[in-house]
Structure 1
């Protein structure tokens, strides 16, 4: 896979940040968490203006090497043409919720926003909108370059391990 410009999508708690950070280090690129673009600094209570988020994402995607990760299908769709690879983490919701609980609150989240995040992670396959399972599936199925869908934590770990090898193992599509 050509991982020079990789998008990692999936549910909250699926391991996007964990994988993206490792891939960015391996590729010598920048790791970008779309939460930092979508939310004003200081927490998860105030979203930035849509046009500002898109401008930030497009500017990041202009770089030579990057790994951009996030749940926001509407942002990903704006930079998808620049990507050389797409990794979709379709991890079961119960595992995602457990991962969010394990990592705890971060980036100034309040107890209320943390509870909302847990509820959000539970509804990945049932909710609608650009951050849903069905929206991510549509992004994945229309992407024509290198792509892989990983559905277990073991697969995510193996993918990261294989990416670190000099001759990467190809994963199924």
Structure 2
């Protein structure tokens, strides 16, 4: 079992991935943990370091759940996954989920530091359906539609 969960920020990726990990005793990789420099907010690691960390996780775990919004990393992982789950609950649900996001100590030194990034996060989430970058709805839709293996799209607030 190798499950790949992707979607917009606030779509429920981490919640679903943690639940699947616990339910099936799967190692869980949040792609944020390999994309960003440890202890630094919005400072991206080198593409080589990111690719090496992803390859190490996949090689070191015969079963897993991986989650994130990074279309390029989702695409790089597709050939390894046995199930693809696209969370697409809609913009309002993502914005609301972000309002209730608990402190993420693996990303932010304090709840206050996380809260300082809230407005920027919400603005970024609002652009999901218009942007054309690898982290956008357009990229996610293309990835999902072209994947020929086992897949599901979860639409609506109950994603």
Same fold flag (TM > 0.5): yes
Deviation at 1:104, TM superposition (A): 5.2
Corresponding residue number in structure 1 for 2:83: 85
How many residue pairs get matched?
Answer: 152
Question: Corresponding residue for 1:48?
Answer: 45
Find out whether 1:133 has 2:137 as its counterpart. yes
**TM-score, normalization by structure 2:** 0.89
1:1-173 correspondence to structure 2 within 5 Å: 4-62=1-59, 63-103=61-101, 106=104, 107-108=107-108, 109-154=113-158, 156=159
Match of 1:165 in 2: none
Larger CA deviation: 36-45 vs 76-85: 36-45
Distance in 2 between the 1:98 and 1:140 partners? Answer: 24
Shift of 1:44: 2.4
TM-score by length of 1: 0.82
CA RMSD of aligned residues (A): 1.4
Runs of 4+ in 1 over 3 A off after TM superposition: 109-112
Q: For the residues of structure 2 that align with 1:44 and 1:93, how far apart are their CA atoms? A: 24
User: Is the 8 Å Cα contact of residues 27 and 65 (structure 1) preserved in structure 2?
Assistant: no
CA contact (8 A) 2:5 2:17 kept: yes
Alignment deviations for residues 122-141 of structure 1 (CA, whole Å, 9 cap, x no partner): 11111111110010011111
Structure 1 spans left out of the alignment, 5+ residues: 157-173
